[in-house]
């Protein structure tokens, strides 16, 4: 069968001459899917003619839950969406809630949110690039990536007590302030991480096996990226020069000096390089944020009636006591306008946004999450057509699909 | 974030469009009959080349709602960075809207998800199947009349239309 026909399966899909093709089931439990997702592949020998993704294995009704839990409770559910970078989800959720309520978080809180969001980005990219290495045969790279990731999880533990499901943010602030110990650990990561990145780059960047398996594989053009709603590092690797941190600066990203990392090739190798560069830029942001961390409270004051006052205030002042009860009583709670708002952040995977509908109660009427993985996995058949079966794992790895975010 | 000129041109082409603003975000409500034409106009003439999201809100018990379902399109102009929220209201019992897959390929899975969870039909969609729920599932669980808790598979629950609700 000529390659041109394989590369254009559109008319072939309804062709009876297809009967000799193999159908292969990939997943939902397969080491290279990393999570629970399934792809049905149509193979001509070793060449992939078509791929049909089948998702939903991890669907747990998160958006339905969002209509039943209040604005602070739901943050625990956002942890479980993209569990590789839960901090970024926490920040995105509470930014959307604060936009709906019209609250602005204090400067120290904004800086700390930037720090945790960027650390989450580094942790996410370490896993993703490590996994791309792992899937293409470089197991050492995976270990190089997981060592510094462990250090980042130590920081999260020092900040909020949880390593994996952080739930660090609250409406109008944070769960608690960063301790000097946590700041010291962040400084240590800033010092140590570049060495690990150098190791990874020395191992992979000019590694013939790795380059052969990723270069020219899964090419996404700029026009297709825009047409298919692709955002984040995948779009930037295809030459879409958009980064919400620069284009629509939220939190305090305006204060920092960093580059937007882009590439033009749009293949798996370009995505790997973009993620590698983004980690260094994120490190620059974290460094600037830690060194210029403003003093002050991490939550909005009692005037806003949005964040719980400290226990000292509750036990010793009448205002503190009233604010506490106004927030925790089931018939009281947040003051939310009957309005709708969309708030987007640049999560490690792409544009993570929440479309919130408030109805005056302390629960969202609708809590829509715009998951980047969902739109990126929809790309998969487009990227894999015409490549070989072994490229499936390389493309899948470079898309960084997190099934819990995909299915919600 | 949306230029006034953009809104003016949209209003000139579609006088029935109602723009509003909240927290620096421009939203427009487009009548259901002209939603496809308005979106095509926004894409072709006003440069909104990326569809960020398609989602739906069930306004069954929402105060002041104008229809059972509110369909939300979030658009982005990647050149200028402009954003626009386009909403349209669709009433039950058989909510149907034209699919925007011919305009933006990215709408494919997003519309499948809205069909799956809300039961909104998209006319002209190339592959309108359930996406996150199994094929044999009978209900559309993000509708407000679908209960959160219940015993076993929730096949037997009172279906409420907007007229009754």
**Residue labelled with tokens 């600066």:** A249
Q: Answer whether residue B6 shows pLDDT above 60.
A: yes
Report yes or no: A231 and A241 within 8 Å, Cβ to Cβ. Answer: no
Categorize the per-residue pLDDT at B21 as very low, low, confident or very high, splitting at 50, 70 and 90.
confident
Q: Give the confidence band of A4 by pLDDT, cuts at 50, 70, 90.
A: very low
By C-alpha distance, the chain A residue nearest B134 is A56
Distance CA A292, CA A305 (A): 28
What is the structure's pLDDT at A3? 40
CA A223 vs CA A220, A229, B124: distances in Å: 8, 10, 23
The CA–CA distances, whole Å, from A181 to A158, A187, A233, A248, A385 equal: 7, 10, 32, 33, 50
Q: Which of B22, B52, B130 sits opposite A339 (nearest CB)?
A: B22
Q: What is the DSSP letter of A77?
A: H
- Which residues of chain B are at the A interface, by a Cβ-Cβ cutoff of 8 Å? 1, 22-23, 25, 27, 49-53, 55, 57-58, 62-64, 72, 74, 78, 81, 85, 104-110, 113, 117, 130-134, 141-142, 146, 148
* Residues A111 and A252 sit within 8 Å (Cβ to Cβ): yes
pLDDT value for A193: 92
Q: Distance between CA atoms of A133 and A209, rounded to whole angstroms? A: 10
Average pLDDT score, chain A: 87
Each residue's pLDDT tens digit, A233-268: 999 999 998 999 988 888 889 999 999 999 998 899
Q: Which residues of A touch B (CB under 8 A)?
A: 55-56, 59, 61, 63-65, 67-68, 99-100, 102, 224, 226-231, 240, 242, 247-248, 338-342, 344, 351, 353, 355, 357, 359, 365-366, 368, 370, 374-375, 377-378, 407-408
A404 touches A58 (CB < 8 A):
yes
Instruction: Using the predicted structure, report yes or no on whether residue A14 has a pLDDT greater than 90.
Output: no
**Do the chains contact at B62 and A365, CB–CB below 8 Å?**
yes
User: Averaged over B26-40, what is the pLDDT?
Assistant: 90
- Rounded to 10 deg, the angle between the A107-135 and A139-160 helix axes is 160
Count the Cβ atoms, other than its own, within 10 Å of residue A302: 19
Give yes or no for residue A9 having a pLDDT over 50: no
Predicted confidence at residue B29, as pLDDT, reads 92
pLDDT digits (tens, 9 = 90+) for A72-130: 889 999 998 888 889 999 999 999 999 998 888 999 999 999 999 999 999 999 999 99
Confidence of residue A408 (pLDDT cuts 50, 70, 90): confident
Cis peptide upstream of residue B6 (ω within 30 degrees of 0) = no
Mean per-residue pLDDT, B106-130: 90
Residue A10 has pLDDT above 60, yes or no: no
* Structure confidence by residue, pLDDT tens digits, A45-61: 888 888 888 888 888 88
Eight-state DSSP code of residue A346: E
Q: Place A230 in a pLDDT band, splitting at 50, 70 and 90.
A: very high
Nearest to B100 by CA among B130, B72, B79, B63: B72
* Chain A residues inside the 8 Å CB shell of B104: 227-229
Mean pLDDT of B99-110: 91
Bridge-based pairing of strands B69-76 and B50-58 is: antiparallel
Q: How far is CA B4 from CA B1, B10, B19, B29, in A?
A: 9, 10, 11, 16
Backbone angles phi, psi at A104, to 5 degrees: -115, 130
Q: Which domains does chain A have, with CATH numbers?
A: 3-54 (no CATH), 62-407 (1.10.645.10)
Contact between residue B101 and residue B125 where contact means Cβ atoms under 8 Å apart: yes
- Tens of pLDDT, residue by residue over A218-227, are 899 999 999 9
Share of chain A above pLDDT 70, in %: 95
Type and span of the H or E element at A349: none
Closest CA to A41 of A32, A50, A28: A50
User: A134 preceded by cis ω (within 30°)?
Assistant: no
Residue A153 · residue A160 · CB < 8 Å: no
User: What's the pLDDT band for B165 if we cut at 50, 70, 90?
Assistant: low
How many contacts does A have with B, using Cβ atoms within 8 A?
103
Say whether A355 and B74 touch across the interface (CB within 8 A): yes
Q: Which of B39, B52, B102 to mutate to test the interface with A (most CBs of A within 10 A)?
A: B52
Choose the mutation target among A366, A374, A399, A406 for the interface with B, i.e. most B CBs under 10 Å: A366
Pairing of strands B121-123, B96-98: parallel
Class of the CATH domain delimited by B4-123: alpha beta
The reported pTM is 0.89
Q: Which of B163, B130, B5, B153 is nearest to B80 (CA)?
A: B5
Tell the residue number behind the tokens 């000019």, with chain if given. A206
A7: pLDDT strictly greater than 60: no
Task: State ipTM.
Answer: 0.89
Q: What is the spatial distance between Cα A239 and Cα A230, in angstroms, rounded to a whole number? A: 11
pLDDT at B55 over 80: yes
* Rounded Cα gap, residues A357 and B85, in angstroms: 13
Question: What's the sign of the alpha-carbon dihedral B66, B70, B71, B77?
Answer: positive
Pair A98, A172: CB distance under 8 Å: yes
Question: What is the pLDDT averaged over residues A263-286?
Answer: 92
């Amino acid at each position: 069968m000529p390659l041109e026909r394989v590369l254009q399966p559109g008319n072939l899909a309804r062709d009876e001459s297809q009967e000799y093709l193999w159908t292969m089931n990939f997943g939902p439990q397969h080491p290279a899917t990393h999570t629970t997702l399934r792809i049905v592949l149509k193979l001509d020998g070793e060449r992939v003619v078509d791929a049909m993704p089948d998702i939903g294995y991890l669907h747990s009704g998160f958006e339905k839950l969002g209509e039943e839990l209040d604005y602070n409770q739901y943050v625990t559910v956002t942890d479980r969406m993209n569990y590789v970078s839960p901090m970024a989800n926490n920040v995105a959720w509470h930014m959307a809630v604060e936009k709906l309520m019209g609250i602005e978080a204090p400067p120290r809180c904004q800086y700390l949110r930037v720090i945790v969001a960027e650390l989450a980005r580094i942790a996410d990219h370490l896993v993703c690039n490590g996994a791309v290495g792992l899937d293409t045969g470089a197991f050492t790279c995976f270990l190089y990536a997981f060592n510094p990731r462990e250090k980042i999880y130590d920081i999260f533990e020092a900040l909020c007590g949880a390593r994996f499901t952080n739930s660090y943010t609250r409406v109008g602030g944070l769960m608690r302030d960063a301790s000097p110990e946590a700041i010291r650990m962040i400084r240590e990561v800033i010092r140590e991480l570049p060495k690990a990145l150098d190791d990874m780059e020395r191992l992979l960047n000019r590694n013939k096996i790795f380059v052969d398996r990723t270069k020219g594989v899964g090419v996404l053009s700029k026009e297709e990226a825009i047409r298919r709603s692709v955002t984040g590092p995948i779009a930037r690797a295809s030459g879409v020069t958009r980064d919400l941190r620069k284009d629509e600066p939220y939190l305090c990203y305006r204060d920092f000096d960093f580059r937007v990392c882009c590439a033009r090739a749009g293949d798996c190798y370009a995505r790997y390089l973009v993620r590698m560069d983004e980690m260094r830029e994120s490190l620059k942001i974290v460094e600037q944020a830690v060194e210029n961390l403003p003093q002050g409270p991490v939550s909005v004051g009692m005037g806003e009636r949005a964040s719980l006052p400290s226990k000292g205030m509750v036990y010793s002042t009448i205002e503190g006591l009233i604010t506490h009860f106004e927030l925790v009583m089931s018939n009281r709670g947040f003051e939310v306008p009957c309005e709708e708002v969309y708030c987007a952040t640049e999560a490690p995977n792409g544009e993570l946004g929440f479309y919130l509908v408030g109805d005056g109660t302390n629960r969202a009427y609708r809590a829509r999450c715009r998951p980047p993985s969902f739109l990126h996995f929809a790309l998969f058949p487009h990227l894999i057509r015409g490549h070989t079966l072994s490229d499936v794992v390389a493309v899948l790895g470079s898309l960084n699909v997190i099934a819990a975010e995909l299915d919600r | 974030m949306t230029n006034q000129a953009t809104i003016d041109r949209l209003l000139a082409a579609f006088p029935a469009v109602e723009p509003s603003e909240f927290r620096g975000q421009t939203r427009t409500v487009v009548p259901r009959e002209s939603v496809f034409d308005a979106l095509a106009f926004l894409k072709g003439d006003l440069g909104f080349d990326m569809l960020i999201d398609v989602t739906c809100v069930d306004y069954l018990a929402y105060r002041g709602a104008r229809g059972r379902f509110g369909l939300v399109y979030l658009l982005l102009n990647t050149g200028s960075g402009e954003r626009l929220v386009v909403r349209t209201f669709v009433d039950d019992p058989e909510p149907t809207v034209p699919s925007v897959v011919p305009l933006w390929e990215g709408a494919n899975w997003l519309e499948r998800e809205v069909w799956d969870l809300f039961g909104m039909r998209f006319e002209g969609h190339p592959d309108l199947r359930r996406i996150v729920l199994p094929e044999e599932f009978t209900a559309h669980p993000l509708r407000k009349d679908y209960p959160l808790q219940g015993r076993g598979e929730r096949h037997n629950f009172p279906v409420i239309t907007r007229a009754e609700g």
